[in-house]
Each structure stands twice: as structure tokens, then as C-alpha cells.
């Protein structure tokens, strides 16, 4: 039963305040920018076309709503936790307070899939847009240094060598963003604010100018008839599309990892989480409607669907082509930055609890950042992004995130029962209905993921158990409470 010892919430809060070596700089605006920085990226610039062409058609807008509902229900649970336990560990800390040490370790290990693998995934997408932009200016990078050296052939059931050496642009962006995180949260926040502003402006330009080029006949039928198999249009296509674009919302919970660097976390954390979801969902729905209105959904299965839509309009919007690519690169840059940030802060908190090596909680004497953790996380993400294709990484991210959402939703119900009188600056409404809806939607999306992804998740968890029982359990500080 020692595996399920809960860390007292009072102890968590006291440790966080007395032992906090991180600089408190972030306001509600900064935190919302962190959330938008993590969410507006690969989903809107890459996955919208695939989901429309293969699954939902014009009803992709509904798919975004379905995914948003799952995230909203989970977000309401996150908001209560973030206001009650404003500590940098996010879902890991929430699990420690409600379910005990082993479940907390499982969540922390699982979150690596969301943040570390997420940063690697987006870095591969960043690489594709950069290579495309450079080609527009007549600069052609050798394919051997712009692609993954291995791919997974599901038909053959094995890995294949592509002939490439490494995806260098993917490695470059991760290293560059890691350097920002080492220098300091203030500088990183300023950079993220600027980048978030750029990509929102680009998206608004596409929506604003694209509206006048919509051909409403492309929306008919709005929900294409199902072809006879699950996920190929119809209602099931909307649900399958929701599973694909769920990746678009990955990272909104990164807001909760910034608690110890927020000026007033009890008030600003819940606001930032909900603002992020509302703003991003509105933008996603608008882009989906404009995109499928300009181009028939059957032709949208391309790597850069927004760029294709601008091409279809013709010379009148040709000036927007380069701007969209620059916006996509900026958008993906901020996603990499925020995901690396979130992972490093989770490792920092786990290290303070004794579950990871002490060096992970060391802060830089000048910059006051967990620099060793940032460098380790950045190095691993660079390696993954440089070696593996986006499809393999993306599925791992989705299943890891969904599992974290489910555990947080369960945690809220447990916290309400065990700590009913605990002061809460924000309360999740309609408990247990909201947490249960979150669990049901997330489980439904998890079931739609390929079997290979589940096998990799199990293998990943087994590795985590080995580390926990050989190191973490022996060095845990929970026994002193």
C-alpha cells in the first residue's frame, strides 16, 4: 500500500512556495499565450486537410467541436486542480495528491509522450514548412538531411531505411528553442507572445480574405454519406475526424505546468486554460469552414491545405502564400517551445519529489531556470525529431495525452470525495457528470487509435515501471510525511 501513499496537499503547497526557485513572471495574458502557443500549430496548418478529405468533409467543423468538448470537459477538471494545487507538475502533481505515488509516477511518465514526443512531432512538421519556404526562394536543401532516416511499414510490420541521414531542420528548431528556455522564462514568454500574435494574425488574414471566395456548393452535402465503412464520412466520419484533429488540442494543459512561474496562479490558471480552449476552438471552426468552402474536401489531402486553398483562389491572394508559410513556421515554433517548457517543468517537480535524479531540479544561478532538465529534454526531443517520421510520433502523443486527461478527470471525483472542504478558487461544474463525460469522450477517441500505438504505450509503461521500482521508489520523499 506504500505505492499509493498520497502526498498531503498542504505539504505540496508549502514545498512549492518555500522551495520555489523559479521566477514568478507570468500573467493571465502570458499564460493564455502559452496555451495558444501550444494549441495553434500542426492541427490547423497540417491535419485539417487530411481529416476533411478522408473522414468528415465539410462537417470537419463539427469534428473540431467534438474534440473541443472532450478537451473542455477535461479542461474544467484541470482548471479546478490548477486553482487548488498551483504547482508546476500539472497532472502528475494532481495524481500525487489524489491517487498516490505510483499513479502519479504513471501520469508523469505518460506525460513524456505528450510533451517530449509532441515537441519532436511538431519539429518534423516545422521542418516540412521550412524546406517548402526555402524552395520558394530557390534554396533547395538536400533530401538526405531533411527527412527521417527510418519509417515504419505497417503492411510489412517492420522498420525500413529511407536513405536519409537525419532531419536536420527538426533538430535545429528544438535546439534553438531549448536555448531560449535555458536563458529564462521572461525571454521565452516574450518570444512566445510575439510568435502567437504572428500566427493569429495570419489565421485571421486567411479567414478574413478567404470568406469572400467561398463557394457554398462545396458545403453540399455538409455531412457526406458514409461509404459503408466506419470513419469514411457520415456520423462515424465526424467522430473519426475528431480523433484525427484531437492532436490539434494537444498541449492546452501546458498552461498548468507554469503554475510556479505565475504571479497569481489561483485566479489566472483557470482563466488561461478556458480562454485558450475558447479562442482556439473558434479559430479552428472558422478555418475549417473557410477551407472547405474554398476547396472541395476531396482535394484537401495535402501537407499544406491552407496554402492549397490560397493557390486555388488565384493571383488575387498570391501575396498571402508566403505569409501563411511564415505564419505556419512561427506557429509550429511556439508549439515546440511550449511543449519543451512543459516537459522540463514536470521533470523539475518529479525531481523535487525524489522520483527523478536530483540534477533535474537544479536551477541556473543566473537565469533561475531548470537548465539541466531543459537541456536533457531538448536533447531527447531533437534526437526523436531527427530520426523518426511524424506519423509514428503523432499517434504516441495522442494516446499519452488522452490517458492523462482521463486520469485528471478521475482525480477530480476522488478529490471532491476525500477533500470536500478544501479551498477552491475554481470549481468544476456538474461533478461527477463533467468528469465522466471527459472520460467517455477520451476513451472513445483512444479506441479509434491503431493497435500498434497501444502496443507502444504498453511497452513505454513497462520501461517506466522498471525505472520506478529500481530508482524512484527508493528515493521518494513521500515517506517523511
Q: What are 123-164's pLDDT values in tens digits?
A: 888 888 888 888 888 899 898 998 888 876 655 667 788 888
Residue appearing with cell numbers 497501444: 454
> Which among 174, 169, 163 has a CA at the least distance from the CA of 134?
169
Q: Is 313 exposed, middle or buried (0-12, 13-18, 19+ CB in 10 A)?
A: middle
- Kindly report whether the global pTM for this prediction surpasses the value 0.85: no
User: What residues in the chain have per-residue pLDDT under 70?
Assistant: 1, 15-25, 42, 87-90, 152-157, 184-188, 247, 250-251, 259, 303, 390-392, 394-395, 479-481
Note the pLDDT of residue 481. Answer: 47
Q: Which three cell numbers stand for residue 64?
A: 473540431
Per-residue pLDDT tens digits for 380-418: 999 998 988 766 676 677 777 788 888 889 989 988 888
DSSP 216-250: GGGGSSSSPPP-SSTTSSHHHHHHHHHHHHGGGGT
- CA dist 435 and 75 (Å) reads 10
Residue range of the domain that includes 11? 2-480
Cell of 115: 510533451
Count of beta carbons in the 10 Å neighbourhood of residue 464: 17
C-alpha cell at 458: 504498453
- The confidence score (pLDDT) of residue 83 equals 78
Helix (H) or strand (E) holding 161: strand 158-161
Residue 415 · residue 216 · CB < 8 Å: no
Question: In terms of Cα–Cα distance, which of 362, 388, 397 is closest to 22?
Answer: 362
β partners of residue 161:
150
Confidence (pLDDT) at 400: 79
Here the CATH number for the domain that contains residue 83 is 1.20.1740.10
DSSP state of 45: I
pLDDT score, position 230: 76
Could you give phi then psi for residue 373, rounded to 5 degrees?
-60, -45
Of 244, 230, 245, 239, nearest in space to 444 by CA: 239
**What distance in Å separates the CA atoms of residue 289 and residue 304, rounded to the nearest whole number?**
16
* Residues with Cβ within 8 Å of residue 373, at least 6 apart in sequence: 344, 347, 348, 351, 360, 361
Q: How many domains does the chain have?
A: 1
Is 157 strand, coil or helix? coil
Q: How far is CA 51 from the centre of its chain?
A: 18
User: What gap in Å lies between CA 314 and CA 318, rounded to an integer?
Assistant: 6
On average, the pLDDT of the chain sits at 82
261-274 pLDDT tens trace: 777 777 888 888 88
Q: What is the pLDDT of residue 465?
A: 92
CB count within 10 Å of CB 172 equals: 17
- Sign for the CA dihedral angle at 476, 477, 480, 481 comes to negative
CB 44 within 8 A of CB 309: no
Query: Cα dihedral angle (85, 86, 91, 97), rounded to 10 degrees?
Result: -20
Instruction: For residues 169 and 215, give the distance between their C-alpha atoms in angstroms, rounded to a whole number.
Output: 37
Contact 354, 19 (CB under 8 A): no
Amino acid at each position: 500500500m506504500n505505492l499509493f501513499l498520497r502526498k498531503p496537499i498542504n505539504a505540496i503547497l508549502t514545498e512549492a512556495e518555500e522551495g520555489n526557485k523559479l521566477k514568478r513572471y507570468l500573467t493571465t495574458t502570458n499564460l493564455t499565450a502559452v496555451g495558444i502557443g501550444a494549441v495553434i500549430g500542426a492541427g490547423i496548418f497540417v491535419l485539417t486537410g487530411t481529416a476533411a478529405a478522408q473522414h468528415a468533409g465539410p462537417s470537419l467543423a463539427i469534428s473540431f467541436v467534438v474534440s473541443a468538448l472532450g478537451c473542455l470537459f477535461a479542461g474544467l477538471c484541470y482548471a479546478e486542480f490548477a486553482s487548488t494545487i498551483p504547482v508546476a507538475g500539472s497532472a502528475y502533481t494532481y495524481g500525487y495528491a489524489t491517487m498516490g505515488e505510483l499513479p502519479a509516477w504513471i501520469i508523469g511518465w505518460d506525460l513524456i509522450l505528450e510533451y517530449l514526443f509532441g515537441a519532436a512531432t511538431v519539429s518534423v512538421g516545422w521542418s516540412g514548412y521550412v524546406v517548402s519556404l526555402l524552395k520558394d526562394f530557390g534554396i533547395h536543401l538536400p533530401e538526405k538531411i531533411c527527412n527521417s532516416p527510418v519509417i515504419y511499414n505497417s503492411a510489412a510490420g517492420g522498420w525500413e531505411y529511407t536513405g536519409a541521414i537525419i532531419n536536420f531542420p527538426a533538430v535545429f528548431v528544438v535546439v534553438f528553442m531549448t536555448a531560449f528556455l535555458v536563458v529564462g522564462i521572461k525571454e521565452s514568454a516574450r518570444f512566445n507572445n510575439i510568435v502567437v500574435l504572428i500566427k493569429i494574425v495570419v489565421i485571421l488574414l486567411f479567414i478574413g480574405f478567404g470568406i469572400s471566395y467561398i463557394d457554398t456548393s462545396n458545403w453540399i452535402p455538409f455531412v457526406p454519406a458514409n461509404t459503408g465503412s466506419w470513419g469514411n464520412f457520415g456520423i462515424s466520419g465526424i467522430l473519426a475526424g475528431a480523433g484525427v484533429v484531437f492532436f490539434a488540442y494537444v498541449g492546452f494543459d501546458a498552461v498548468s505546468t507554469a503554475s510556479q512561474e505565475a504571479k497569481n496562479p489561483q485566479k489566472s490558471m483557470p482563466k488561461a486554460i478556458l480562454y485558450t480552449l475558447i479562442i482556439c476552438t473558434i479559430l479552428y471552426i472558422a478555418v475549417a469552414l473557410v477551407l472547405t468552402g474554398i476547396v472541395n474536401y476531396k482535394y484537401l489531402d495535402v501537407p499544406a491545405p491552407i496554402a492549397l486553398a490560397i493557390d486555388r483562389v488565384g493571383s488575387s491572394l498570391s501575396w498571402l502564400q508566403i505569409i501563411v508559410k511564415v505564419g505556419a513556421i512561427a506557429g509550429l515554433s511556439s508549439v515546440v517551445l511550449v511543449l519543451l517548457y512543459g516537459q522540463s517543468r514536470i521533470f523539475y517537480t518529479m525531481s523535487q519529489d525524489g522520483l527523478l535524479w536530483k540534477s533535474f531540479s537544479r536551477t541556473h544561478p543566473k537565469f533561475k531556470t531548470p537548465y539541466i532538465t531543459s537541456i536533457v529534454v531538448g536533447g531527447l526531443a531533437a534526437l526523436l525529431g531527427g530520426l523518426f517520421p511524424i506519423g509514428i510520433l503523432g499517434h504516441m502523443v495522442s494516446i499519452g495525452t488522452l490517458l492523462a486527461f482521463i486520469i485528471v478527470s478521475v482525480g477530480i471525483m476522488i478529490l471532491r470525495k476525500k477533500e470536500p472542504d478544501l479551498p477552491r478558487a475554481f470549481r468544476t461544474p456538474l461533478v461527477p457528470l463533467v468528469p465522466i463525460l471527459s472520460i467517455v469522450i477520451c476513451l472513445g477517441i483512444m479506441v479509434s487509435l491503431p493497435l500498434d500505438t497501444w502496443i507502444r504505450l504498453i511497452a513505454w509503461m513497462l520501461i517506466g515501471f522498471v525505472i520506478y521500482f529500481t530508482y524512484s521508489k527508493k528515493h521518494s520523499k513521500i515517506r517523511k510525511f
